[in-house]
Chains A and B, each alone.
Chain A
Amino acid sequence: MSSVKIELRPDQIEKIHSFCDEFNNEPGELINVLHRSQGEFGYLPAEVQEVIAEKMKMPVAKVYGVVTFYSFFTMIPKGEFPISICTGTACYVRGAENVLAEFKKQLDIQVGETSPDGKFSLSCLRCVGACGLAPVVQVGDKTYGRVAPDDVKGIIEEYKS
């Protein structure tokens, strides 16, 4: 169920329509349209799915079915500073799980969630190709290496002000 209710502006609706047209409103291209839309909005709120369904002449239940099937798609807006913890093999064996647990504790949110103030969101990823720095954490575009649970509080503080 969508937790955020928004009303789309006409120019935003126009933008979604242009994504649908780009793929000729072909039902088989739904995933591509969703991909583009998530790129634009950062997430796929119910209202965006509704506009896509209407434009592509398919039930909105079907669109929602696809959105909830693929873990790539999200209906929750990412935080201002999205935090990603690598849980690939190398990071995992060097304690990524403890780091993740500390982020959950400090922010009081679960993986896939966003903090109530909209600042931070938490996700896991598999290998950023910097295994030498394991365990690795990314906040936006910035990468932190050899992160220990004790470092977590300090990393969060950097973005709080």
Chain B
Amino acid sequence: MDQVKLTIDGKTVEVPAGTTVYKAAKVLDIDIPVLCYMDLKDLNIENKPGGCRICSVEIEGRRNLAPSCSTNVADGMVVRTNSIRVINARRTVMELILSDHPKDCLICAKSGNCDLQDMAIKLGIRNIPGQEYAEMSTYRLDTSPSIIRDMDKCIMCRRCETMCNDFQTVGALNAVNRGFEAVVAPAFEMNLEYSPCTYCGQCVAVCPTGALTEVDHTPSVIQALSDPTKTVVVQTAPAVRAALGEEFGLEPGTRVTGKMVTALKNLGFDYVFDTDFAADLTIMEEGTELLDRLTKHLNGDKDVKLPILTSCCPGWVNFFEYHFPEMKDIPSTARSPQQMFGSIAKSYFAEKIGVDRKEMVVVSVMPCLAKKYECQREEFMVDGNPDVDYSITTRELAHLIKQANMNLTDMDDSAFDAPLGESTGAAVIFGATGGVIEAATRTAYELHTGKELESVDFKQLRGMEGIRSATVDFDGLDIRIGIAHGLGNARKLLEEIKAGTSEYHAIEIMACPGGCIGGGGQPLHHGDSSILKARTRAIYEEDASKTLRKSHENPYIIKLYEEFLDKPMSEKAHQLLHTHYFERKKRVFEV
């Protein structure tokens, strides 16, 4: 590629032609302020609509300032990123953006974690000239089971649109109307609930303001904790422990499992359990289902369809229910770990401690926004009583801990309670892309071959590539495995299945980049994808540190089957641990 030489702030730099001025400046360690721009390098996602103009720079010979995020370099270009003209323009742009932005920062869900607020601080904005004449947007609040849209706070950066359309291929959000009326909205400005939205929460994860936020379940959790008649049980998903520390200033990738358990006990939960226990249970059910379908298929049963797809991820479930309803009998019928946990907690465990399920409140801590919707699904209720009452995100848990005036970093380590707190390394890796299928492989291999694995590490299944494939030798039988994270990647594998060209026996799909560690409920990464890698590393470290690393060796799982469920895929297991899927798509005239 041709190299181009240019000068930025008096320093010379040489970059390939086609590079943007913004990126060329980065090479010189000049960090031009950006607002709408977002670059998720490892995911090949770049949002550069050139809309906000905060990144404007002065280019010699050009009359107007140029947006550096979407202006390509040219040979001999002379750029100034910090001239008085640039600084003044940047301030004016910021004042204009703020002129119609609500000023309720003190009570905004994003306060302290808001890119717009940070920029106002950076530029030292102290007053907004002409504010008294500014018209304020009064767009209606749209509250779905998982996500709240407050378009009055939208600055039209279009990051959410990029994630929803380009990365996830969900197509729920688009810029609509024009000028002052412009907002990002679903088609016909219908509520998110009726749109193709999967509640994956990737729009929330990248929103620079409080325009897109999660539905806050913490008030309900506090109420349950303060009710002496309720037995409050909490479960924590594997990805939470790999990210929670970031909210307390710890380096990304710091594991805080033991500290988190102490914090939850101090908050007053009666039982602190682990979703990982249910992840081991998922492997027993899903792994058995995989082997069952595989055996029947290999024996020539034409009614049995392969590949089998994982079903742990509620964003992914919502995706195929809406976009690929004709394939809804292909995914495993196993419920997600969150729901398996709730189901067992309110049956097996409630019986054990002699508590009526109506007096038990199950709270889940998840890296995920779709889990909020999942726990409200009717099929996961018994006589109107949900198996999981409230689902809070990693961010919400951090808020709870801070509210209680606790500092996570000072906490001692505690262990999860028994019996639903015991788990294996196989369960922990559910939090990273490829982890579920690796865990399933560990168990399915041993159950199928009757032999013990020499090494439980299937490194060929790990990584950050959007679509990966590997063949695992099951003692002479080659099992072909596919993995996708991000719904756009999942769509590619689904199209293959639809076309009859898929060569896989089993496929793992996670809706979010990197799997659950990159979930919509995790601490905000602000576009830094190295954080996702650090969390992944933490997950595999936790796995390696465990004595038991295969789900079928979890003693409490073995006991659960002996005492209660009989065996995987038994009638009782079907009733409590499996589910079915529905077509979600509605025509416009039905909405």
Q: Are A65 and B174 in contact (CB under 8 A)?
A: yes
In the assembled complex, B512 has its CB within 8 A of some CB on chain A: no
**A59 with B171: in contact, given A46-B588, A65-B176, A69-B178 (CB under 8 Å)?**
yes
**Interface contact B177-A69, CB-CB below 8 Å:** yes
Give every chain B residue within 8 A of A69 (Cβ-Cβ): 176-178
| Structural contact, A7 and B589, CB atoms closer than 8 A | yes
B187 at the interface (CB under 8 A from A): yes
Please give the residue numbers on chain A whose beta carbons come within 8 Å of chain B beta carbons, in ascending order: 1-2, 5-7, 46-47, 49-50, 53, 58-65, 68-69
29 A-B pairs within 8 Å (CB atoms) are namely A1-B188, A5-B588, A5-B589, A6-B589, A7-B589, A46-B187, A46-B188, A47-B588, A47-B589, A49-B188, A53-B187, A58-B171, A59-B172, A59-B196, A60-B171, A61-B171, A61-B172, A61-B186, A61-B187, A62-B165, A62-B171, A62-B174, A64-B187, A64-B188, A64-B189, A65-B176, A68-B176, A69-B176, A69-B178
B contact residues around A68 at 8 Å (CB)? 176-178
Q: Residues of A contacting B189 with CB < 8 Å?
A: 1, 64
B185 close to A (CB within 8 Å)? yes
Pair B173/A61 contact, Cβ less than 8 Å:
yes
Q: Give the docked Cα–Cα distance between A57 and B460 (Å).
A: 34
Report the bound CA distance from A5 to B190 in whole Å: 14
Name the CB-closest residue of A to B190. Answer: A1
| Nearest Cβ on chain A to B318's Cβ, whole angstroms | 15
Q: Which of A6, A7, A46, A59 contacts B165 (CB 8 A)?
A: A59
**Residue of chain A at shortest CB distance from B589:** A5
CA distance A7 to B196 in the complex (A): 20
- By a CB distance below 8 angstroms, the chain B residues around A63 are 187
Other-chain contact of B187, A6, A7, A59 (Cβ < 8 Å): A59
Alpha-carbon distance A47/B586, docked complex (angstroms)? 12
Chain A residues whose C-beta falls within 8 Å of the C-beta of B178 in the assembled complex:
68-69
**Shortest CB–CB separation between residue A52 and chain B, in angstroms?**
11
Partner of A49, one of B173, B187, B196: B187
User: For the complex, is B391 an interface residue (Cβ under 8 Å from A)?
Assistant: no
A6-B589, A46-B188, A59-B165 given; A65·B175 CB < 8 A: yes
B536: CB under 8 A from chain A? no
Assembled-state Cα–Cα distance A63/B178 (Å): 14
CB-contacts of B477-529 with A (<8 A): none
Q: Which A residues are CB-close (under 8 A) to B162?
A: none
Determine the residue in chain B with the shortest Cβ distance to A5.
B589
Complex contact A61–B588 (CB within 8 A)? no
B589 touches A61 (CB 8 A): no
B352 at interface by CB-CB < 8 Å = no
* B21-74 at interface with A (beta carbon < 8 Å): none
A2 to B177, Cβ gap below 8 A? no
Q: Knowing that A49-B188, A60-B187, A61-B171 touch, tell me 9 more A-B residue pairs with CB under 8 angstroms.
A: A1-B189, A5-B589, A6-B589, A47-B587, A49-B187, A63-B187, A64-B188, A65-B174, A68-B176
A2 pairs with B174, CB closer than 8 A: no
Interface string of B165-203 (1 = CB under 8 A from A): 100001111111110000001111110000110000000
Select from chain A the residue with minimum beta-carbon distance to B173: A61
Given A59-B196, A61-B195, A64-B188, A2 contacting B171 (CB threshold 8 A): no
CA distance A19 to B483 in the complex (A): 39
CB distance from A109 to the nearest CB of B (A): 20
A68–B183 Cα distance when bound, in Å, is: 11
> How far does the alpha carbon of A160 sit from the alpha carbon of B104 in the complex, in Å?
53
A110 to chain B, nearest CB (A): 15
Chain A residues within an 8 Å CB radius of B187 = 46, 49-50, 53, 59-61, 63-64
Q: Are A50 and B176 in contact (CB under 8 A)?
A: no
Q: Which residue, B172, B187, B195, B587, has most C-beta atoms of chain A within 10 A?
A: B187
Cβ of B54 to closest chain A Cβ, rounded Å:
24
Q: How far is the CA of A146 from the CA of B176 in the complex (A)?
A: 39
> Nearest chain-A residue to B196 (Cβ)?
A59
Chain A nearest CB, measured from B324 CB (Å): 14
Q: How far is the CB of B187 from chain A (nearest CB, A)?
A: 4
Q: Which A residues are CB-close (under 8 A) to B196?
A: 59
Enumerate chain B residues within 8 angstroms of A49, measured Cβ to Cβ. 187-188, 588
List of A residues within 8 angstroms of B177 by Cβ? 68-69
Chain A residues near B588: list those with CB within 8 A.
2, 5, 46-47, 49-50, 60
- Residues of A with C-beta under 8 A to B175: 65
User: Which residues of A sit under 8 angstroms from B195, Cβ to Cβ?
Assistant: 61
Q: A1-B188, A1-B190 are in contact. Are A64 and B174 (CB under 8 A)?
A: yes
Chain A residues lying within 8 Å of B171, measured Cβ to Cβ, are 58-62
Residues of A within 8 A of B186 (CB): 61
Interface centre among A2, A7, A58 (most CB of B within 10 A): A2
Chain A positions within 8 Å of B188 at CB level: 1-2, 46, 49, 64
Task: Chain B residues near A46: list those with CB within 8 A.
Answer: 187-188, 588-589
Q: Which residues of A contact B174 (CB under 8 A)?
A: 59, 61-62, 64-65
Q: Please, which residue of chain B has its CB at the minimum distance from the CB of A59?
A: B171
Please give, as numbers and ranges, the residues of chain A lying within 8 Å of B190 by CB-CB distance: 1
Residues in B neighbouring A7, C-beta threshold 8 A: 589
Q: Report the separation of the CA atoms of residues A87 and B171 in the bound assembly, to the nearest whole angstrom.
A: 39
Q: How far is the CA of A65 from the CA of B172 in the complex (A)?
A: 11
Chain B residues with CB under 8 Å of A50's CB are 187, 587-588
List residues of chain A with CB within 8 A of the CB of B587: 47, 50
Rounded to whole angstroms, the CA-CA distance of A46 and B587 in the bound complex is 10
Q: Which residue of chain A lies nearest to B169 when distances are taken between CB atoms in the complex?
A: A59
Q: With A and B bound together, what is the CA distance between A62 and B184 in angstroms?
A: 10
Q: How far apart sit A62 and B166, CA to CA, in the bound complex (Å)?
A: 12
Q: Measured between alpha carbons, how far is A47 from B174 in the docked complex, in Å?
A: 18
Taking the nearest CB of chain A, how far is it from the CB of B464, in angstroms? Answer: 27
Residues in chain A near residue B589, CB distance under 8 A: 5-7, 46-47
- A105 to B185 CA separation, bound complex (whole angstroms): 33
Distance in Å: Cβ of A67 to nearest Cβ of chain B:
8
- In this complex, which of B170, B188, B589 has the most chain A Cβ atoms within 10 angstroms of its Cβ? B188
Bound CA span A109–B172, Å: 33
Least CB distance, B532 to chain A, in whole angstroms = 26
- Least distance between B41 CB and chain A CB atoms (Å): 25
A47 to B587, CA, bound (A): 8
On chain B, the residues within 8 Å of A47 by CB distance are 587-589
Minimum CB–CB distance from A16 to chain B (whole Å) comes to: 14
B residues 281-323 with Cβ under 8 Å of A?
A: none
Residue in chain B with minimal CB distance to A53? B187
Q: Least Cβ distance of B26 to chain A in Å?
A: 31
Provide the bound-state CA to CA distance between A7 and B171, in Å: 23
Q: Which residues of B contact A53 (CB under 8 A)?
A: 187
